[in-house]
Each structure stands twice: as C-alpha cells, then as structure tokens.
Amino acid sequence: MIECKVTEVGEDLIRYTVEEINYSVDKNKVEKIEFKNGKILVFQHSMFGEENYQGQRKNALKLGFLSPLGGVTTIFYERSLKPGASLEFGLGIIGMGVQVMKGVSGVGFKAGYKFIKSPAYYQRGQRYTHILRGSYIKPELSIASYGYDNYYYFIDGREKHRVNYTSVAALVTFGNQWVFNNSFLVDVFVGVGYGYSTGGGGGYNFMHSLAPSSFPVAGTAGIKIGLLFGN
C-alpha cells in the first residue's frame, strides 16, 4: 500500500505525489484506491474487462479441416466463458470421409477447457483483439469408439469378422486461434498426453493417435476452421 496524494486517474495511468515528488503507475497494476473520506475506487484490469469485448461474437462452430482425409468428420463448438477462458466440445462421425478401413463406422467425442493467453490489444486505449483470439493451453479428454471389418482368407473363401475398439486419451493441447472480422476463425493445434485402447495396440484412432501399449503416449494435431455467432 502506498500513502500518497492522487492527482489524476486517467484512462491508462494514475498520477500521484509522495513528499512533493510526482509519480505515475499503470492503472492495470492498481487494485483499488482508498480515499481519506472513506470512498473506495476499485479498478478492473483492462485486458479482462467485459466492456472491452462488447459486440463480439462469443460462440464458434468449427470443422476439422483435414479430418475427412483420415476417415472422420469432426465438428466443434466453442463458447467463451470470460476473457481468457472458454469451453470446447467436439463430435466426430467416424466413417464419414476417406475409407481408411473397410466398413469402418463409429463416433468420437472431445471436451476441453481453454486457458487463453491474456488478450492483446492493437493500440492502447483503442481496439482490443477478439475474446476468442490468441494462443492457448487446453486440457481435454478424447474418446473414440468404432468398428471395422476384418477378413480372414482361406483356400475355399473368406470369413468376415467385425472388430471393435474403444480408445480414450487425456491430452494437454497447445494451439493458436486467429479471428477475422468477428466472423471467421482458424485454429491450429497440437497435443500430447496418455491414452488407452481396448485393442491393446497403438496407431491412429480417428480422434487421436496412440503409441504401442508398452508406451501409452497419445497425440493429436490438426487445423480447424469455423464461423462465429451469438453474443
């Protein structure tokens, strides 16, 4: 606490004097001012004040841009909770895309909480960047449940067996999201964590990939594109 005489509370700075020496401090570094008359002035950090993001769309619907090439179509929904935090949920329709396995079908889910780096601003006191824009860390859970046809061949023909797998991974995903004109976004990400599959082996599991069971490391990476809507 600093005992002083406050001479000015500006848009960005607070000016004060101590023993007739003038000082100034960034307003973001001040929690509150307590005046002698008992009045208390409380400040909110400009990077996290809701008023800086009024009019911005806080919901996004995204598509995994390259996921159909891997045999799954992924759709994601993201909702901003507050500046610096959002929730994201994903649905994967396994088998909707390039057929990487015979007769493959199934479903996948992802859910994560984004910790977004403090939003930046273009110029102090002017326009702030979008509430969903920036680099982030996202702990997330990824689940894939699917089956495909496996054929055993014999001299007199072949026999079809349905093989089913369920794979689960706990990931920490790092990414960066760009927002354009409060309407369109691009999200690039990569993640790593631990995973398990009922099949016991590693490889591509549509929503994530697994190393062999003796080394149960999981990974994910991709690009999402999407549209923003709602406030």
- For 140-163, write each residue's pLDDT tens digit: 999 999 998 887 777 776 777 888
Q: Is 51 inside a domain boundary?
A: no
Domain match, 125 and 26 both: no
**How many CA atoms lie less than 13 Å away from 229 in the CB half-sphere?**
5
Quick one: tokens of 224? 């999402």
- Mean pLDDT throughout 43-54? 67
Q: Is 154 inside a domain boundary?
A: yes
Sheet of 5-9: strands edge to edge?
A: 5-9, 13-18, 21-26
Domain match, 15 and 105 both: no
**Average pLDDT for the chain:** 87
At 85 the pLDDT is 93
Q: Is 48 inside a domain boundary?
A: no
Domain match, 96 and 182 both: yes
Tell me the pLDDT band of 173, cut-offs 50, 70 and 90. Answer: very high
pLDDT of 5 above 60: yes
At 226 the pLDDT is 97
Q: What angle do CA 1, 30, 17 make, to 5 degrees?
A: 65
Domain match, 188 and 106 both: yes
Q: Is 49 inside a domain boundary?
A: no
Domain match, 184 and 75 both: yes
Tell me the pLDDT band of 201, cut-offs 50, 70 and 90. Answer: low
Domain match, 105 and 25 both: no
Give residue 18's domain range.
Answer: 5-42
Domain match, 31 and 68 both: no
For 56, 87, 218, the CA distances from 90, given in Å and listed in that order, are 22, 10, 17
Domain match, 14 and 120 both: no
Domain count, the chain: 2
- For 76-128, write each residue's pLDDT tens digit: 999 999 888 999 999 999 999 898 888 899 999 999 999 998 655 544 444 45
Q: Which of 18-27, 100-109, 179-188 has the lowest mean pLDDT?
A: 18-27
Cross-strand bridge partners of residue 167: 144, 197
Domain match, 16 and 93 both: no
At 212 the pLDDT is 82
Domain match, 9 and 100 both: no
Domain match, 35 and 125 both: no
The CATH number for 74's domain is: 2.40.160.20
At 122 the pLDDT is 47
Domain match, 82 and 169 both: yes
Asked whether the whole model's pTM tops 0.85, one would answer: no
Q: Is 47 inside a domain boundary?
A: no
